[in-house]
Amino acid sequence: MSLYIFVIGAALLSVVYALVVVWKIQKSAKPTEKIAEISSAIREGAMAFLKREYRTIGLVAAVIFVLLWLVLGAKVALGFLTGAVLSALAGYIGMVVSTKTNAKVAEASKQSLKKSFGLAFQGGSVTGFFVVGLGLLGVSIFWLLTKDLKALAGLGFGASLISIFARLAGGIYTKAADVGADLVGKVEQGIPEDDPRNPAVIADQVGDNVGDCAGMAADLFETYVVTIAATMILGSLLFAGSSVALVLPLLLSGAGIVSSIAATLFVKLGKKQGIMAALYKGVAAAAVISALLFIPIISKYSQTIGLDFANLYVPSLIGLALAFGLFLITDYYTSKKHKPVQQIAEASQSGHATNVIAGLAIGMQSTYAPVVLISISILVSYWLGGIYGLAVAAVSLLSLTGMIIAMDSYGPITDNAAGILEMAGADAKSRE
């Protein structure tokens, strides 16, 4: 039971930290009336979408819940319901925080880049730490109450259902609104992006929230919960009678939460004001702190399940390294500072056809490095710790989910803020 105290404590710490950050954001400078009005319109549209989406999901979930109750029993059905509710809550929180933070960031950008960056990252971190906190809390408490692996699988299934709807529906809406706004504004009317004369701009801003905040939060919540649950189920099958094999993924996830909270202290702009450098510094700090926290956890419990320290610790390091490696690869292929994007921009000068060809070529090329990196990680983790070592690597990779979501949510928040400033007629310096 003492092991679960740490796990539940880490999950509660994550939720409390997120609430404290919400309070800090609320205390920041109030936006002007014009900015607040535009932000309110975006929030109204986003909430209307979410309300309609959740109503549809609710009908589907209700049917599945009844079927599971009749076929597999009450525990599995309740697990499904718990996963679905928590996943929906994660998406809702992501949406609310994003739509309330964008106006604050827009106002802060009038003062300094450092202040607006800090607020935007704080807004993203609220979503991130609510997701991991609710996820770990849900899995650990539900397992303690039921001690039923089938019910745990049901919880993962519930989270997956919401994830599919939120990610796909939100993503389709996002792209449709984005392209629609650009077609009307840039192609037909010849007006710039986020211009207030284009009525589709609000829909575009809503899309950033429903897809990149609510959808992404539900998606990563599902991945986080399902990976932990799958590792617990795997541990029970491979090491029958060993409670440590079930608790270890929870302990590693709890350590990841603690390290991610500590790493937020490292996310600060330097003198050169490199935004991406500040964000990557946070991810690197979270990975290093996690690697240190994993040492006492794995060294104490690896022998209990008949594995050497290195058989589990090295796969955990591989998971952390893979997370950071994928960030670097993504940055290389998507940042305008690097050659791939520059090549596409250069190809675009001769027309649409070469733009599409270059984009497809670079896109296909960009899959090579991640596939190789993931394949090597899988092979080495399996060679060292077998299938359980591979599962530990996956849990380790996702232990940084809080920090990863904070970075992901930072994007749509700042994008919204820039659009709001454009529509409010702010000066160019603030928008930059």
CA angle 76/80/84 to nearest 5° reads 170
CA nearest 134: which of 218, 66, 67? 218
pLDDT digits (tens, 9 = 90+) for 58-108: 898 899 999 999 988 888 999 999 999 988 888 888 788 888 888 888 878
Rounded CA separation 6/106 (Å): 39
Backbone angles phi, psi at 153, to 5 degrees: -65, -35
Q: Name the percent of the chain lying above pLDDT 70.
A: 92
> Which pair of structure tokens corresponds to residue 336?
């305008």
Checking if the pLDDT of 432 tops 60, the result is: no
The set of residues, in sequence order, having a beta carbon less than 8 Å from that of 330 and lying 6+ positions away, is: none
- Residue 425 binned pLDDT confidence (cut-offs 50, 70, 90): low
What average pLDDT does the structure give for the chain?
84
Predicted structure pTM score: 0.88
Number of domains in the chain: 1
- Please state which of the ranges 11-15, 44-48, 147-151, 421-425 shows the lowest mean pLDDT: 421-425
What is the average per-residue pLDDT within 268-292? 84
Rounded mean pLDDT of 410-414? Answer: 83
For 43, other C-beta atoms within 10 Å of its C-beta total 21
Query: Which amino acid appears at position 267 of this protein?
Result: V
Mean local confidence (pLDDT), 247-271: 89
What is d(CA 112, CA 245) in angstroms, rounded to the nearest whole number?
49
Confidence band (pLDDT; 50, 70, 90) for 257?
A: very high
Task: Give Cβ neighbours of residue 119 (< 8 Å, ≥ 6 apart).
Answer: 25, 28, 101, 104, 105, 108
At 413, list the tokens: 């928040």
Helical H runs in 147-267? 149-182, 201-209, 216-238, 244-263
How large is the average pLDDT for residues 402-424? 82
- From residue 125, give the alpha-carbon distance in Å to each of 69, 146, 268, 326, 402: 36, 31, 14, 20, 7
- The pLDDT value recorded for residue 194 is 58
185 or 87, higher pLDDT = 87
Amino acid at 406: A
In this predicted structure, what is the pLDDT of residue 198? Answer: 66
Is 399 within 8 Å of 252 (Cβ atoms)? yes
- Lowest-confidence region among 6-20, 128-142, 165-179, 189-203: 189-203
DSSP state of 424: T
Per the document, the length of the chain is 432
Q: Sorting pLDDT into bands at 50, 70 and 90, what band is 412?
A: confident
Name the pLDDT band for 251 (thresholds 50, 70, 90): very high
- What is the average pLDDT across 103-120? 80
Give 188-245 pLDDT, tens digit per residue. 556 665 565 666 777 777 877 777 777 788 888 888 999 999 999 998 888 877 788 8
SS3 184: helix
pLDDT grade for 45, boundaries at 50, 70 and 90:
confident
Structure-model confidence comparison of residues 67 and 301, the more confident one: 67
| Confidence (pLDDT) at 193 | 59
Question: In this predicted model, what pLDDT tens digit does every residue of 370-387 receive, in sequence order?
Answer: 999 999 999 999 999 889
Q: Which two tokens stand for residue 28?
A: 């920041």
Confidence of residue 44 (pLDDT cuts 50, 70, 90): confident
More confidently predicted of 78 and 176: 78
**Assigned token pair, 293:** 């926290």
pLDDT at residue 93, rounded to an integer: 82
Q: How many CB atoms lie within 10 A of CB 70?
A: 9
Chain-centroid distance of CA 6 in Å reads: 23
Does residue 395 register a pLDDT over 80? yes
Q: Where are the alpha helices (DSSP H) in 109-148?
A: 113-146
Percentage of the chain lying above the pLDDT 90 cut: 27
Average pLDDT over residues 110-122: 81
Buried b (16+ CB within 10 A) or exposed e, 369-407: beeebeeebbebbbebbeebbbbbbbbbbbbbbbbbbbb
Between these two residues, 432 and 418, which has the higher pLDDT value? 418
Q: Which domain holds residue 81?
A: 2-431
Rounded CA separation 295/399 (Å): 15
